[in-house]
Amino acid sequence: MPKRDYYDVLKLPKTASPEEIRSSYRKLAREYHPDLNKENAKEAEEKFKELSEAYEVLADEQKRKHYDMGGFDAVSQDFGPQGFNWQNFSHAGDLEDMFGGMDPLRDFFRQAGVRGDLFGGMFGQGFQVASRGRGRDLEVAIRVKLGDLIQGIQRDVEVPRADRCEDCKGTGAEGGTALETCKTCGGSGQVRNVRRSGYAQLVTINACPTCRGEGRKILKACTHCGGAGRLRVNRHLRIRIPPGLDDGTVLRLAGEGERGPSGRAGDLFVQVIVDNGTFHREGRDIYTDLTVGLSQALLGDTVRIPTLSGQAELSVPPATQPESTLRLKGEGMPPPGGGSRGDLFVTIHVRLPDRLSSEQRDTVRRTFGEPGGVASLPERDKGSGGFFSRRKG
Ligand SMILES: [Zn+2]
Ligand SMILES: [Zn+2]
């Protein structure tokens, strides 16, 4: 096939915008995709490749500029000595939504040798470049109430992840047997390139381009998993969240991530998000507020207040000052991992009556005296002790 101008291939004028380039590529890719042209597969594949080469160049601002100025020669060094091949193609992701995870397309790219890491983005299958290595790590978040962390709590979660296809034992080949050792790399998945540079010998080890580092070639793809060797499953996990964790703590469950093609799994990271409710937490200690009426503050009372684990009785002593702090020992949080609990500090706010009858005003005058015209500073504003100076007392 004689080489055609990239713009002609994509049926675009030289002034086309990046958006027009992308949309034309997508449109033509749909038209010429080999799997949608079974009767003319060979020709369609050639066209699809030609199209993808043009797109590889024109979709990249730098490469496009070089091509506009110097033609094919100016971009040829971007590709191998044989010209464009599928290993040079870095835009498989642009077709992602188009084929909706269609297996034939994935197989096409697999066979064509497009780098494995694209598949992760394309099909959510978690393929990785180092496809012999472990699977991807996964993350989930779990919300708990502060009170749940006094004892710790168990939570059931469903984690969608790639798991080994048992039909093909993770090989991706029908029955686990329809495969052969890669002839290029002899099954190691790697190719070495030894080069002399002066006195030094440079050894470069790359993933084998024929089998993309897998060491084997699938002769017939497993029909159950479409040759991926893995399937998406929802895995149920019971996660034990230990007591006393801080908000945002991340737990790591080794081996509960996605399973790689070799069977080695990544890890699952569980972020614990703590809902503090009406409480404020500082380490093991918990703070909350309580509003009492004037007579409660003056005469004292016993009130029920919400705590982390339910309710508790709090004794408000007579003549309790507004904004003073009372303490309930042992009603705070345990330290991370468990241990003796901190305290609950309750800041008392006093609500004054909205109005007084003349009778009540007389009583106040008789009891506390006439207003003297000089306001005394509240005790908490004196000195440097600060707002919470008495709470530990
Ligand atoms: Zn399978
Ligand atoms: Zn190989």
Q: How far apart are the CA of 142 and the centre of ligand 1, in A? A: 32
**What per-residue confidence (pLDDT) applies to 341?**
95
**What per-residue confidence (pLDDT) applies to 254?**
87
Quick one: pLDDT band at residue 61, thresholds 50, 70, 90?
A: confident
Q: Measured between alpha carbons, how far is 159 from 123 in angstroms, rounded to an integer? A: 17
Q: Which ligand is nearest to the CA of 169?
A: 1
For helices 18-32 and 41-58, give the axis angle rounded to 10 degrees. 170
Least confident of 68-82, 226-240, 355-369: 68-82
What is the tens place of the pLDDT at every residue in 266-292?
888 999 999 999 999 999 999 999 999
Q: How far apart are the CA of 179 and the centre of ligand 2, in A? A: 12
Q: Measured between alpha carbons, how far is 275 from 153 in angstroms, rounded to an integer? A: 14
Q: How far apart are the CA of 189 and the centre of ligand 1, in A? A: 20
CA 279-339-347 angle, to 5 degrees, is 25
Q: How far apart are the CA of 209 and the centre of ligand 2, in A? A: 7
Q: Which ligand is nearest to the CA of 113?
A: 2
Residue 236 exposure: Cα atoms within 13 Å on the Cβ side? 2
Q: Measured between alpha carbons, how far is 74 from 65 in angstroms, rounded to an integer? A: 9
Q: Which ligand is nearest to the CA of 175?
A: 1
Q: How far apart are the CA of 87 and the centre of ligand 2, in A? A: 14
Q: CB 361: neighbour CB atoms within 10 A?
A: 11
Q: Which ligand is nearest to the CA of 183?
A: 2
Pairing of strands 268-275, 138-145: parallel
DSSP letters for 204-261: EEEE-TTTTTSSEEESSB-TTTTTSSEEEEEEEEEEEE-TTPPTT-EEEETT-SPBPT
Q: How far apart are the CA of 165 and the centre of ligand 2, in A? A: 22
Structure token pair of residue 155: 């939570």
Structure token pair of residue 260: 């790689």
Q: Measured between alpha carbons, how far is 33 from 36 in angstroms, rounded to an integer? A: 5
What is the tens place of the pLDDT at every residue in 90-138?
776 666 555 544 444 555 655 554 443 333 333 333 333 334 467 888 8
Single out the residue of 80, 84, 113 nearest to residue 212, CA to CA. Answer: 113
Q: How large is the C-alpha radius of gyration of the chain?
A: 35
Does pLDDT of 82 surpass 80? no
Q: Which ligand is nearest to the CA of 208?
A: 2
Q: Which ligand is nearest to the CA of 212?
A: 2
Q: Which ligand is nearest to the CA of 181?
A: 2
Q: How far apart are the CA of 134 and the centre of ligand 2, in A? A: 19
Q: How far apart are the CA of 162 and the centre of ligand 1, in A? A: 12
Q: How far apart are the CA of 100 and the centre of ligand 1, in A? A: 20
- Terminal Cα distance for the chain, rounded: 90
- Domains for the chain: give ranges and CATH numbers: 1-122 (1.10.287.110), 125-178+219-275 (2.60.260.20), 280-381 (2.60.260.20)
Q: How far apart are the CA of 208 and the centre of ligand 2, in A? A: 5
Q: Which ligand is nearest to the CA of 176?
A: 1
**What per-residue confidence (pLDDT) applies to 77?**
77
Rounded-to-5 percentages of helix, strand, coil across the chain? 30, 30, 45
Q: How far apart are the CA of 177 and the centre of ligand 1, in A? A: 11
Q: Compute φ and ψ for 293, nearest 5 degrees.
A: -80, 170
Cβ neighbors of 332 (< 8 A, separation 6 or more) are 284, 285, 286, 308, 341, 342, 343, 344
**What per-residue confidence (pLDDT) applies to 95?**
66
Q: Which ligand is nearest to the CA of 220?
A: 1
Mean of pLDDT values over 216-226: 88
